[in-house]
């Protein structure tokens, strides 16, 4: 079991997925540009996976995660210990 928090990889995608119905077998996809999962047929699922839309959605998810978790900015600085100065990289 995992706990997803806002900003964690996969958090928003997990919220958008409808829980599976144990009595039925359905395919769900999240279309490119959307955050809502929708039911599709087996043929539509195959087209989604092999037609490039899934790859496009993955790229959108990566862009969203990068915007939510920007790369930290590290600035050069120096440290003074007992009167001696040290350069830090």
Q: What is the pLDDT, as a whole number, of residue 81?
A: 62
Q: Is 23 within a domain?
A: yes
Q: Is 71 within a domain?
A: yes
Q: Is 20 within a domain?
A: yes
Q: Is 4 within a domain?
A: no
Provide block-wise average pLDDT over 10 residues at a time, the chain (89 residues): 73 72 74 82 88 88 77 62 58
Q: Is 2 within a domain?
A: no
What residues contact 74, with CB distance under 8 A and at least 6 apart?
none
Q: Is 76 within a domain?
A: yes
Nearest-angstrom CA–CA distance, 85 and 89:
13
* pTM beyond 0.85, yes or no: no
Q: What domain range is 71 assigned to?
A: 11-88
42-50 and 53-68 helices cross at what angle (nearest 10)? 60
Q: Is 42 within a domain?
A: yes
For the chain, how many structural domains are there in total? 1
């Amino acid at each position: 079991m995992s706990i997803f928090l806002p900003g964690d990889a996969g958090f928003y995608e997990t919220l958008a997925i409808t829980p599976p119905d144990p009595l039925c077998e359905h395919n769900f996809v999240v279309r490119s540009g959307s955050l809502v999962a929708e039911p599709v047929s087996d043929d539509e699922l195959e087209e989604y996976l092999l037609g490039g839309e899934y790859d496009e959605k993955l790229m959108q998810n990566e862009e969203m995660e990068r915007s939510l978790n920007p790369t930290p900015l590290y600035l050069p600085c120096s440290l003074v210990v007992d009167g001696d100065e040290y350069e830090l990289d």
